[in-house]
A and B are shown apart, each in its own frame.
Chain A
Amino acid sequence: MQLTILDRIDRPAEDVVALILRGAHGPLAPWEPGAHVDLALPNWLTRQYSLCGDPRDRERYRIAVRHERLSRGGSDYVHRYLREGRTLEVSLPRNTFRLVPAPSYLFLAGGIGITAIVPMLRAAAGAGVPCSLVYAGRTYASMPFAGELRAAYGDRVTIVATGHDGRPDLAALAAGLAPETVVYCCGPASLLADCEAVFPAERLHVERFRPQPRTFGPDTAFDVACARSGRTVPVPADESLLDALNHAGLPVPAGCREGVCGSCEVTVLEGEPEHRDDVGAAPGRMYACVSRSRSPRLVLDL
Protein backbone atom coordinates (compact mmCIF):
# COMPACT_ATOMS: atom_id res chain seq x y z
CA MET A 1 0.00 0.00 0.00
CA GLN A 2 1.10 3.56 -0.69
CA LEU A 3 -0.02 6.55 1.30
CA THR A 4 -1.37 9.44 -0.74
CA ILE A 5 -3.01 12.77 -0.08
CA LEU A 6 -6.12 13.71 -1.97
CA ASP A 7 -4.86 16.95 -3.46
CA ARG A 8 -7.80 17.88 -5.59
CA ILE A 9 -11.24 16.76 -6.68
CA ASP A 10 -12.17 17.81 -10.23
CA ARG A 11 -15.47 17.39 -12.04
CA PRO A 12 -14.55 16.47 -15.60
CA ALA A 13 -18.13 15.51 -16.51
CA GLU A 14 -21.64 15.11 -15.09
CA ASP A 15 -21.60 12.51 -12.33
CA VAL A 16 -17.85 12.00 -12.69
CA VAL A 17 -15.13 13.18 -10.33
CA ALA A 18 -11.40 12.96 -10.94
CA LEU A 19 -9.18 12.53 -7.90
CA ILE A 20 -5.62 13.81 -7.89
CA LEU A 21 -3.66 11.73 -5.39
CA ARG A 22 -0.21 12.94 -4.40
CA GLY A 23 2.36 10.63 -2.82
CA ALA A 24 2.57 11.45 0.88
CA HIS A 25 6.22 10.38 1.06
CA GLY A 26 7.62 11.40 -2.30
CA PRO A 27 7.33 9.62 -5.65
CA LEU A 28 4.69 6.97 -6.21
CA ALA A 29 5.30 3.55 -7.74
CA PRO A 30 5.74 3.62 -11.53
CA TRP A 31 3.05 2.30 -13.85
CA GLU A 32 2.27 1.73 -17.49
CA PRO A 33 -0.85 2.51 -19.51
CA GLY A 34 -3.69 0.11 -18.71
CA ALA A 35 -2.75 -0.17 -15.03
CA HIS A 36 -5.22 0.14 -12.18
CA VAL A 37 -4.93 0.54 -8.43
CA ASP A 38 -7.05 -0.47 -5.46
CA LEU A 39 -8.26 2.56 -3.57
CA ALA A 40 -8.98 1.93 0.12
CA LEU A 41 -11.89 4.13 1.14
CA PRO A 42 -12.53 5.46 4.64
CA ASN A 43 -15.66 3.28 4.81
CA TRP A 44 -13.45 0.14 4.65
CA LEU A 45 -14.43 -0.64 1.08
CA THR A 46 -11.78 -1.13 -1.60
CA ARG A 47 -12.41 -0.30 -5.21
CA GLN A 48 -10.35 -0.60 -8.39
CA TYR A 49 -9.78 2.37 -10.65
CA SER A 50 -7.68 2.73 -13.79
CA LEU A 51 -4.88 5.26 -13.61
CA CYS A 52 -5.72 7.98 -16.10
CA GLY A 53 -2.96 10.52 -15.45
CA ASP A 54 0.48 10.77 -16.96
CA PRO A 55 2.86 7.89 -16.10
CA ARG A 56 5.79 10.33 -16.35
CA ASP A 57 4.42 12.26 -13.39
CA ARG A 58 5.79 10.23 -10.47
CA GLU A 59 4.38 12.67 -7.93
CA ARG A 60 0.70 11.98 -8.47
CA TYR A 61 -1.91 9.57 -9.74
CA ARG A 62 -5.16 10.57 -11.34
CA ILE A 63 -8.27 8.38 -11.26
CA ALA A 64 -11.83 9.16 -12.33
CA VAL A 65 -14.97 7.77 -10.76
CA ARG A 66 -18.51 7.73 -12.08
CA HIS A 67 -21.32 7.93 -9.52
CA GLU A 68 -23.12 4.64 -10.11
CA ARG A 69 -26.89 4.72 -9.81
CA LEU A 70 -26.87 1.47 -7.83
CA SER A 71 -23.61 2.15 -6.00
CA ARG A 72 -22.70 -0.53 -3.49
CA GLY A 73 -20.95 2.08 -1.40
CA GLY A 74 -17.77 2.82 -3.38
CA SER A 75 -18.62 5.50 -5.93
CA ASP A 76 -21.30 6.91 -3.66
CA TYR A 77 -18.71 7.44 -0.94
CA VAL A 78 -16.21 9.00 -3.34
CA HIS A 79 -18.82 11.42 -4.67
CA ARG A 80 -20.56 12.45 -1.51
CA TYR A 81 -18.11 12.19 1.33
CA LEU A 82 -14.47 12.35 0.24
CA ARG A 83 -12.85 15.65 1.05
CA GLU A 84 -9.72 17.25 -0.31
CA GLY A 85 -6.68 16.98 1.92
CA ARG A 86 -7.55 13.56 3.27
CA THR A 87 -4.96 10.78 3.22
CA LEU A 88 -5.91 7.68 1.26
CA GLU A 89 -4.14 4.38 0.76
CA VAL A 90 -3.71 3.03 -2.74
CA SER A 91 -2.18 -0.28 -3.77
CA LEU A 92 0.77 -0.70 -6.07
CA PRO A 93 -0.39 -0.45 -9.68
CA ARG A 94 -1.44 -3.71 -11.28
CA ASN A 95 -1.73 -4.17 -15.02
CA THR A 96 -4.01 -6.74 -16.63
CA PHE A 97 -4.57 -4.62 -19.75
CA ARG A 98 -1.11 -3.96 -21.15
CA LEU A 99 -0.46 -2.04 -24.32
CA VAL A 100 1.38 -4.51 -26.54
CA PRO A 101 3.70 -3.03 -29.18
CA ALA A 102 1.89 -2.74 -32.52
CA PRO A 103 2.29 -0.85 -35.79
CA SER A 104 -1.03 0.93 -35.21
CA TYR A 105 -3.88 1.08 -32.74
CA LEU A 106 -7.62 1.59 -32.68
CA PHE A 107 -8.90 2.55 -29.24
CA LEU A 108 -12.55 2.23 -28.32
CA ALA A 109 -13.91 3.61 -25.09
CA GLY A 110 -17.40 3.67 -23.65
CA GLY A 111 -18.23 6.13 -20.84
CA ILE A 112 -15.96 5.90 -17.83
CA GLY A 113 -13.97 3.18 -19.67
CA ILE A 114 -12.08 6.12 -21.18
CA THR A 115 -9.91 6.21 -18.04
CA ALA A 116 -7.90 3.14 -19.05
CA ILE A 117 -7.56 4.41 -22.61
CA VAL A 118 -6.34 7.97 -21.94
CA PRO A 119 -2.76 6.96 -21.03
CA MET A 120 -2.67 4.41 -23.88
CA LEU A 121 -3.55 7.04 -26.42
CA ARG A 122 -0.97 9.40 -24.97
CA ALA A 123 1.72 6.71 -25.08
CA ALA A 124 0.92 5.65 -28.65
CA ALA A 125 0.63 9.18 -29.99
CA GLY A 126 3.76 10.22 -28.09
CA ALA A 127 5.72 7.38 -29.68
CA GLY A 128 4.53 8.44 -33.13
CA VAL A 129 2.51 5.24 -33.64
CA PRO A 130 -0.57 5.78 -35.84
CA CYS A 131 -3.64 5.59 -33.63
CA SER A 132 -7.22 6.72 -33.32
CA LEU A 133 -9.88 6.76 -30.66
CA VAL A 134 -13.62 6.33 -30.89
CA TYR A 135 -15.13 7.47 -27.63
CA ALA A 136 -18.83 6.84 -27.03
CA GLY A 137 -21.03 8.11 -24.23
CA ARG A 138 -24.66 8.97 -23.63
CA THR A 139 -24.24 12.73 -23.90
CA TYR A 140 -21.25 14.94 -24.44
CA ALA A 141 -21.67 16.41 -20.93
CA SER A 142 -21.45 12.95 -19.38
CA MET A 143 -18.13 12.10 -21.06
CA PRO A 144 -15.02 12.90 -19.02
CA PHE A 145 -11.93 14.22 -20.82
CA ALA A 146 -13.72 14.52 -24.20
CA GLY A 147 -12.67 18.15 -24.67
CA GLU A 148 -9.14 17.53 -23.40
CA LEU A 149 -8.69 14.60 -25.80
CA ARG A 150 -10.04 16.47 -28.81
CA ALA A 151 -7.75 19.39 -28.00
CA ALA A 152 -4.68 17.16 -27.68
CA TYR A 153 -5.23 14.71 -30.53
CA GLY A 154 -7.57 16.53 -32.92
CA ASP A 155 -9.02 14.41 -35.69
CA ARG A 156 -7.62 11.21 -34.30
CA VAL A 157 -10.41 11.41 -31.73
CA THR A 158 -14.06 10.79 -32.68
CA ILE A 159 -16.60 11.60 -30.01
CA VAL A 160 -19.95 9.81 -30.32
CA ALA A 161 -22.79 11.06 -28.11
CA THR A 162 -25.07 8.05 -28.51
CA GLY A 163 -28.17 9.89 -27.28
CA HIS A 164 -27.78 12.19 -30.29
CA ASP A 165 -25.64 10.38 -32.88
CA GLY A 166 -26.67 6.78 -32.21
CA ARG A 167 -24.15 4.04 -31.45
CA PRO A 168 -20.77 4.03 -33.16
CA ASP A 169 -20.70 2.01 -36.37
CA LEU A 170 -18.35 -0.76 -35.25
CA ALA A 171 -18.99 -2.87 -38.34
CA ALA A 172 -17.70 -0.04 -40.54
CA LEU A 173 -14.66 0.37 -38.29
CA ALA A 174 -13.97 -3.36 -38.49
CA ALA A 175 -14.35 -3.35 -42.26
CA GLY A 176 -11.87 -0.50 -42.58
CA LEU A 177 -9.39 -1.96 -40.08
CA ALA A 178 -5.83 -2.24 -41.44
CA PRO A 179 -4.56 -5.82 -41.06
CA GLU A 180 -1.86 -4.90 -38.54
CA THR A 181 -3.99 -2.64 -36.31
CA VAL A 182 -4.53 -3.79 -32.74
CA VAL A 183 -7.82 -2.86 -31.04
CA TYR A 184 -8.17 -1.89 -27.36
CA CYS A 185 -11.62 -1.57 -25.87
CA CYS A 186 -12.79 -0.59 -22.40
CA GLY A 187 -16.37 0.20 -21.51
CA PRO A 188 -19.75 -1.27 -20.60
CA ALA A 189 -20.58 -4.90 -21.33
CA SER A 190 -22.72 -4.00 -24.36
CA LEU A 191 -19.82 -2.23 -26.09
CA LEU A 192 -17.43 -5.09 -25.32
CA ALA A 193 -19.90 -7.62 -26.68
CA ASP A 194 -20.35 -5.59 -29.86
CA CYS A 195 -16.58 -5.34 -30.28
CA GLU A 196 -16.16 -9.06 -29.75
CA ALA A 197 -18.72 -9.66 -32.47
CA VAL A 198 -16.94 -7.64 -35.15
CA PHE A 199 -13.19 -7.51 -34.43
CA PRO A 200 -10.85 -10.49 -34.84
CA ALA A 201 -10.28 -11.99 -31.39
CA GLU A 202 -6.48 -12.21 -31.74
CA ARG A 203 -6.21 -8.46 -32.26
CA LEU A 204 -8.78 -7.36 -29.69
CA HIS A 205 -7.89 -6.51 -26.09
CA VAL A 206 -10.72 -5.73 -23.70
CA GLU A 207 -11.02 -4.70 -20.10
CA ARG A 208 -14.20 -5.24 -18.11
CA PHE A 209 -15.46 -3.57 -14.96
CA ARG A 210 -18.14 -6.19 -14.44
CA PRO A 211 -17.90 -9.91 -15.17
CA GLN A 212 -19.19 -11.26 -18.42
CA PRO A 213 -22.45 -13.13 -17.78
CA ARG A 214 -21.57 -16.78 -18.28
CA THR A 215 -22.71 -20.08 -16.90
CA PHE A 216 -20.49 -22.74 -15.42
CA GLY A 217 -20.96 -26.32 -14.37
CA PRO A 218 -22.09 -26.96 -10.81
CA ASP A 219 -19.71 -25.90 -8.05
CA THR A 220 -17.99 -28.89 -6.54
CA ALA A 221 -15.87 -29.31 -3.44
CA PHE A 222 -12.10 -29.72 -3.68
CA ASP A 223 -9.03 -29.56 -1.48
CA VAL A 224 -6.17 -27.10 -1.66
CA ALA A 225 -2.79 -28.02 -0.33
CA CYS A 226 -0.76 -24.97 0.58
CA ALA A 227 2.84 -25.83 -0.16
CA ARG A 228 4.52 -23.19 1.97
CA SER A 229 2.40 -23.46 5.09
CA GLY A 230 1.95 -27.22 4.75
CA ARG A 231 -1.79 -26.88 5.35
CA THR A 232 -4.64 -28.48 3.47
CA VAL A 233 -7.85 -26.50 3.26
CA PRO A 234 -11.11 -28.07 2.10
CA VAL A 235 -13.15 -25.83 -0.21
CA PRO A 236 -16.82 -26.76 0.13
CA ALA A 237 -19.10 -26.47 -2.89
CA ASP A 238 -20.87 -23.42 -1.47
CA GLU A 239 -17.74 -21.45 -0.70
CA SER A 240 -15.22 -19.69 -2.93
CA LEU A 241 -11.54 -20.62 -2.83
CA LEU A 242 -10.85 -17.09 -1.64
CA ASP A 243 -13.29 -17.34 1.26
CA ALA A 244 -12.10 -20.82 2.21
CA LEU A 245 -8.49 -19.63 2.37
CA ASN A 246 -9.40 -16.51 4.31
CA HIS A 247 -11.60 -18.43 6.75
CA ALA A 248 -8.74 -20.87 7.27
CA GLY A 249 -6.56 -17.94 8.29
CA LEU A 250 -4.53 -17.84 5.05
CA PRO A 251 -5.22 -14.30 3.95
CA VAL A 252 -5.35 -13.66 0.21
CA PRO A 253 -6.02 -10.05 -0.78
CA ALA A 254 -9.18 -9.34 -2.73
CA GLY A 255 -10.68 -6.43 -4.57
CA CYS A 256 -13.63 -6.95 -6.87
CA ARG A 257 -14.45 -10.55 -5.85
CA GLU A 258 -15.90 -10.92 -9.33
CA GLY A 259 -12.87 -12.05 -11.32
CA VAL A 260 -12.16 -8.75 -13.03
CA CYS A 261 -9.44 -6.94 -11.08
CA GLY A 262 -6.69 -9.50 -10.59
CA SER A 263 -5.90 -8.71 -6.95
CA CYS A 264 -6.58 -12.25 -5.66
CA GLU A 265 -4.06 -13.96 -7.92
CA VAL A 266 -2.47 -17.11 -6.50
CA THR A 267 0.23 -19.36 -7.95
CA VAL A 268 -0.79 -22.90 -8.81
CA LEU A 269 1.90 -25.56 -8.43
CA GLU A 270 -0.15 -28.67 -9.20
CA GLY A 271 -3.66 -29.60 -10.26
CA GLU A 272 -5.97 -28.26 -12.91
CA PRO A 273 -7.78 -25.02 -12.07
CA GLU A 274 -11.12 -24.20 -13.63
CA HIS A 275 -10.68 -20.59 -14.66
CA ARG A 276 -13.80 -18.47 -14.37
CA ASP A 277 -12.25 -15.01 -14.31
CA ASP A 278 -12.41 -12.24 -16.88
CA VAL A 279 -8.81 -11.15 -16.38
CA GLY A 280 -7.25 -14.03 -18.29
CA ALA A 281 -4.99 -15.91 -15.89
CA ALA A 282 -1.38 -16.44 -16.94
CA PRO A 283 -0.16 -20.06 -16.96
CA GLY A 284 0.39 -21.29 -13.42
CA ARG A 285 -1.83 -18.59 -11.93
CA MET A 286 -5.47 -18.42 -10.92
CA TYR A 287 -7.91 -15.93 -9.41
CA ALA A 288 -9.20 -17.30 -6.13
CA CYS A 289 -12.38 -15.23 -5.92
CA VAL A 290 -14.19 -16.98 -8.77
CA SER A 291 -12.07 -19.84 -10.13
CA ARG A 292 -12.40 -23.38 -8.85
CA SER A 293 -10.79 -26.72 -9.63
CA ARG A 294 -11.27 -29.49 -12.15
CA SER A 295 -8.99 -31.83 -10.22
CA PRO A 296 -9.96 -32.99 -6.71
CA ARG A 297 -6.86 -31.28 -5.36
CA LEU A 298 -4.86 -28.15 -6.13
CA VAL A 299 -1.45 -27.31 -4.75
CA LEU A 300 -0.92 -23.59 -4.24
CA ASP A 301 2.19 -21.61 -3.43
CA LEU A 302 0.83 -20.29 -0.14
Chain B
Amino acid sequence: MTRQNAPVAERRPRRVSMEQVRERLGEPDAMIKSKIQDHIGEHTRRFIAHSPFLTMATADASGRADCSPRGDYPGFVKVLDEHLLAIPDRPGNRIADSFRNLAENDGIGLLFFVPGSRETLRVNGRAYATDEPDVLARMQTEARTPELAIAVDVEEVYFHCGRALIRSRLWDPAGQALAGELPTLGEMAVAQFGLDVDPRLLEARLEEGYRKLY
Protein backbone atom coordinates (compact mmCIF):
# COMPACT_ATOMS: atom_id res chain seq x y z
CA MET B 1 0.00 0.00 0.00
CA THR B 2 1.42 3.38 -0.86
CA ARG B 3 0.90 6.18 1.55
CA GLN B 4 -0.72 9.26 0.11
CA ASN B 5 1.50 11.70 1.92
CA ALA B 6 4.73 9.78 1.72
CA PRO B 7 7.76 11.99 2.43
CA VAL B 8 9.80 12.95 -0.62
CA ALA B 9 12.65 10.80 0.60
CA GLU B 10 11.64 7.60 2.35
CA ARG B 11 14.34 7.93 4.97
CA ARG B 12 15.34 10.15 7.85
CA PRO B 13 16.32 13.69 6.90
CA ARG B 14 20.06 13.79 6.79
CA ARG B 15 22.08 15.24 9.61
CA VAL B 16 24.53 18.11 9.26
CA SER B 17 27.35 18.84 11.68
CA MET B 18 27.70 22.09 13.61
CA GLU B 19 30.61 23.04 11.34
CA GLN B 20 28.32 22.70 8.35
CA VAL B 21 25.64 24.72 10.10
CA ARG B 22 28.15 27.50 10.75
CA GLU B 23 29.27 27.35 7.15
CA ARG B 24 25.73 27.93 5.96
CA LEU B 25 24.74 30.58 8.49
CA GLY B 26 28.03 32.42 8.94
CA GLU B 27 29.31 33.72 12.27
CA PRO B 28 26.88 35.68 14.43
CA ASP B 29 27.89 39.33 14.35
CA ALA B 30 29.44 40.95 17.37
CA MET B 31 26.43 43.23 17.80
CA ILE B 32 24.14 40.28 18.34
CA LYS B 33 26.52 38.65 20.80
CA SER B 34 26.92 41.85 22.78
CA LYS B 35 23.18 42.27 23.24
CA ILE B 36 23.20 39.34 25.62
CA GLN B 37 23.12 40.73 29.15
CA ASP B 38 23.65 38.94 32.42
CA HIS B 39 21.02 40.86 34.39
CA ILE B 40 17.54 42.39 34.22
CA GLY B 41 17.93 45.97 33.03
CA GLU B 42 15.30 48.69 32.98
CA HIS B 43 13.83 47.77 29.60
CA THR B 44 13.71 44.07 30.28
CA ARG B 45 12.06 44.79 33.61
CA ARG B 46 9.37 46.82 31.89
CA PHE B 47 8.88 44.05 29.34
CA ILE B 48 8.41 41.43 32.07
CA ALA B 49 6.02 43.76 33.92
CA HIS B 50 3.79 43.82 30.83
CA SER B 51 4.04 40.18 29.90
CA PRO B 52 1.04 37.95 30.66
CA PHE B 53 2.50 34.87 28.98
CA LEU B 54 5.69 32.89 28.68
CA THR B 55 6.94 29.51 27.67
CA MET B 56 9.24 27.65 30.01
CA ALA B 57 11.71 25.02 28.83
CA THR B 58 13.34 22.55 31.19
CA ALA B 59 14.95 19.13 30.79
CA ASP B 60 15.66 16.20 33.10
CA ALA B 61 19.10 14.80 33.88
CA SER B 62 19.06 12.61 30.77
CA GLY B 63 18.21 15.56 28.52
CA ARG B 64 14.54 14.68 28.07
CA ALA B 65 13.14 18.13 27.36
CA ASP B 66 9.82 19.76 28.05
CA CYS B 67 8.26 23.12 27.28
CA SER B 68 5.19 24.47 29.03
CA PRO B 69 3.11 27.66 28.90
CA ARG B 70 2.57 29.94 31.90
CA GLY B 71 0.17 32.84 31.93
CA ASP B 72 -1.60 35.30 34.19
CA TYR B 73 -2.04 39.06 34.48
CA PRO B 74 0.82 41.12 33.03
CA GLY B 75 3.69 41.20 35.48
CA PHE B 76 2.76 37.88 37.08
CA VAL B 77 6.45 37.03 36.97
CA LYS B 78 8.09 39.03 39.73
CA VAL B 79 11.49 40.63 39.31
CA LEU B 80 12.96 40.23 42.80
CA ASP B 81 16.22 41.87 41.84
CA GLU B 82 18.46 42.32 38.82
CA HIS B 83 19.48 38.69 38.92
CA LEU B 84 16.44 36.95 40.33
CA LEU B 85 12.93 36.24 39.02
CA ALA B 86 10.03 34.32 40.50
CA ILE B 87 7.27 32.58 38.54
CA PRO B 88 4.08 31.62 40.41
CA ASP B 89 2.80 28.08 40.08
CA ARG B 90 -0.93 28.43 39.38
CA PRO B 91 -3.33 25.50 39.38
CA GLY B 92 -2.88 23.71 36.09
CA ASN B 93 -2.93 20.04 35.31
CA ARG B 94 -0.94 19.13 38.44
CA ILE B 95 1.70 17.49 36.28
CA ALA B 96 4.85 18.53 38.06
CA ASP B 97 7.05 18.00 34.98
CA SER B 98 8.87 21.28 35.30
CA PHE B 99 9.47 20.84 39.01
CA ARG B 100 10.73 17.29 38.51
CA ASN B 101 13.05 18.40 35.76
CA LEU B 102 14.41 21.28 37.79
CA ALA B 103 15.11 19.00 40.73
CA GLU B 104 17.39 16.95 38.45
CA ASN B 105 18.67 19.67 36.18
CA ASP B 106 18.37 23.32 37.11
CA GLY B 107 18.74 24.75 33.61
CA ILE B 108 15.76 26.80 32.45
CA GLY B 109 14.90 28.79 29.32
CA LEU B 110 12.08 31.33 29.35
CA LEU B 111 10.50 33.16 26.43
CA PHE B 112 8.29 36.12 27.40
CA PHE B 113 5.57 37.50 25.14
CA VAL B 114 3.74 40.82 25.30
CA PRO B 115 0.56 40.88 23.19
CA GLY B 116 1.12 43.24 20.29
CA SER B 117 4.89 43.23 20.64
CA ARG B 118 6.84 41.56 17.85
CA GLU B 119 9.95 41.20 19.93
CA THR B 120 10.12 38.52 22.58
CA LEU B 121 12.37 38.38 25.61
CA ARG B 122 14.59 35.41 26.33
CA VAL B 123 15.81 34.74 29.82
CA ASN B 124 17.99 31.74 30.58
CA GLY B 125 19.34 30.66 33.92
CA ARG B 126 19.14 28.21 36.80
CA ALA B 127 15.97 27.56 38.72
CA TYR B 128 14.53 25.84 41.75
CA ALA B 129 11.19 25.43 43.52
CA THR B 130 10.51 27.77 46.43
CA ASP B 131 7.78 28.39 48.99
CA GLU B 132 9.32 31.57 50.43
CA PRO B 133 6.36 33.37 52.09
CA ASP B 134 7.44 36.88 51.06
CA VAL B 135 7.70 35.77 47.46
CA LEU B 136 4.36 33.95 47.45
CA ALA B 137 2.67 36.91 49.18
CA ARG B 138 3.53 39.09 46.20
CA MET B 139 1.76 36.60 43.93
CA GLN B 140 -1.60 36.66 45.65
CA THR B 141 -4.39 37.20 43.16
CA GLU B 142 -8.17 36.95 43.50
CA ALA B 143 -7.52 36.30 47.18
CA ARG B 144 -5.51 33.13 46.41
CA THR B 145 -1.83 32.66 47.07
CA PRO B 146 0.09 30.01 45.13
CA GLU B 147 1.63 27.13 47.09
CA LEU B 148 4.86 27.22 45.15
CA ALA B 149 6.91 29.36 42.85
CA ILE B 150 9.94 28.87 40.67
CA ALA B 151 12.91 31.08 41.52
CA VAL B 152 15.19 31.79 38.57
CA ASP B 153 18.78 32.94 38.89
CA VAL B 154 19.24 34.90 35.71
CA GLU B 155 22.29 34.20 33.54
CA GLU B 156 21.40 35.44 30.07
CA VAL B 157 18.88 38.06 29.02
CA TYR B 158 18.19 39.27 25.51
CA PHE B 159 15.49 40.45 23.16
CA HIS B 160 14.74 38.18 20.27
CA CYS B 161 14.08 39.90 16.97
CA GLY B 162 10.50 40.07 15.75
CA ARG B 163 10.78 38.18 12.46
CA ALA B 164 9.18 34.97 13.71
CA LEU B 165 6.21 36.86 15.10
CA ILE B 166 5.92 39.02 12.00
CA ARG B 167 6.01 36.02 9.69
CA SER B 168 3.55 34.13 11.84
CA ARG B 169 1.21 37.16 12.05
CA LEU B 170 0.79 36.08 15.64
CA TRP B 171 -1.00 39.24 16.81
CA ASP B 172 -3.14 39.70 13.70
CA PRO B 173 -6.74 39.18 14.87
CA ALA B 174 -7.58 37.68 11.47
CA GLY B 175 -5.22 34.84 12.34
CA GLN B 176 -7.58 33.69 15.07
CA ALA B 177 -9.80 32.10 12.43
CA LEU B 178 -7.19 29.31 12.36
CA ALA B 179 -8.45 27.96 15.67
CA GLY B 180 -11.80 27.31 14.04
CA GLU B 181 -10.14 24.73 11.79
CA LEU B 182 -9.07 22.59 14.74
CA PRO B 183 -11.00 19.83 16.42
CA THR B 184 -12.37 20.90 19.79
CA LEU B 185 -10.71 19.66 22.94
CA GLY B 186 -13.79 17.46 23.51
CA GLU B 187 -13.45 15.88 20.08
CA MET B 188 -9.76 15.21 20.59
CA ALA B 189 -10.32 13.67 24.01
CA VAL B 190 -13.15 11.45 22.78
CA ALA B 191 -11.01 10.18 19.90
CA GLN B 192 -7.83 9.71 21.92
CA PHE B 193 -9.40 7.83 24.82
CA GLY B 194 -11.99 6.04 22.69
CA LEU B 195 -14.82 7.41 24.84
CA ASP B 196 -18.42 6.76 24.07
CA VAL B 197 -19.77 10.21 24.95
CA ASP B 198 -20.95 13.23 23.09
CA PRO B 199 -17.87 15.43 22.64
CA ARG B 200 -20.04 18.47 23.32
CA LEU B 201 -20.79 17.18 26.81
CA LEU B 202 -17.11 16.81 27.53
CA GLU B 203 -16.54 20.23 26.03
CA ALA B 204 -19.08 21.78 28.39
CA ARG B 205 -17.34 20.19 31.37
CA LEU B 206 -13.98 21.51 30.23
CA GLU B 207 -15.41 24.99 29.70
CA GLU B 208 -16.85 24.83 33.19
CA GLY B 209 -13.39 24.01 34.51
CA TYR B 210 -11.90 26.93 32.61
CA ARG B 211 -14.13 29.40 34.46
CA LYS B 212 -12.30 28.65 37.67
CA LEU B 213 -8.79 29.91 37.14
CA TYR B 214 -7.30 30.31 40.59
Contact = CB atoms under 8 A, between A and B. Distances in A.
B50 to A, nearest CB: 7
User: How large, as a class, is the contact surface on chain B?
Assistant: 20 to 34
B137 A70 contact: yes
B143 A44 contact: no
A258 B212 CA distance: 18
B49 A70 contact: no
B49 A257 contact: no
A247 B74 contact: no
A104 interface: no
Given A72-B139, A247-B211, A257-B142, A43 B134 contact: no
A72 B211 contact: no
B143 A257 contact: yes
B73 A72 contact: no
B138 A72 contact: yes
Contacts of A243: 142, 212
A105 to B, nearest CB: 34
Contacts of B76: 73
Contacts of B140: 72
A80 interface: yes
A43 B73 contact: yes
Given A247-B211, A247-B212, A289-B143, A70 B138 contact: yes
Contact of B75 (A43, A257, A289): A43
A146 to B, nearest CB: 29
B197 to A, nearest CB: 23
A80 B74 CA distance: 14
B134 A70 contact: yes
Contacts of B141: 72-73
A216 interface: no
**Chain B's interface: helix, strand, loop or mixed, by majority?**
loop
User: How large, as a class, is the contact surface on chain A?
Assistant: 10 to 19
Of the candidates B49, B50, B208, the one having the most CB atoms from chain A within 10 angstroms of its own CB is: B49
A77 interface: yes
A80 B42 CA distance: 10
A240 B50 contact: no
Interface in B180-199: none
B187 to A, nearest CB: 24
Contacts of B49: 43, 77, 80-81
A73 B75 CA distance: 7
B35 interface: no
A71 interface: yes
A287 to B, nearest CB: 13
Contacts of A258: 143
Contacts of A70: 134, 137-138
Contacts of A80: 45-46, 49
B73 A240 contact: no
Contacts of A42: 50, 74
A227 interface: no
Contacts of A246: 211
A197 interface: no
A223 to B, nearest CB: 18
Contacts of A289: 143
Nearest to B142: A257
Nearest to A248: B211
Nearest to B45: A80
B140 to A, nearest CB: 5
Interface string B101-144: 00000000000000000000000000000000010011111110
B72 to A, nearest CB: 9
Interface in A222-260: 240, 243, 246-247, 257-258
A45 interface: yes
A45 B139 CA distance: 12
A240 B214 CA distance: 12
A71 B50 contact: no
A142 B102 CA distance: 42
Interface in B69-83: 73-76
Of the candidates B74, B75, B211, the one having the most CB atoms from chain A within 10 angstroms of its own CB is: B75
A81 B46 contact: yes
A243 B143 CA distance: 11
Given A72-B138, A73-B73, A80-B45, 8 more contacts: A42-B50, A43-B50, A44-B74, A70-B137, A72-B137, A80-B49, A243-B142, A289-B143
25 contacts: A42-B50, A42-B74, A43-B75, A44-B52, A44-B74, A45-B73, A70-B134, A70-B137, A70-B138, A71-B138, A72-B137, A72-B138, A72-B139, A72-B140, A76-B75, A77-B49, A77-B75, A80-B46, A80-B49, A240-B143, A243-B212, A247-B211, A247-B212, A257-B142, A257-B143
Interface of B: 45-46, 49-50, 52, 73-76, 134, 137-143, 208, 211-212
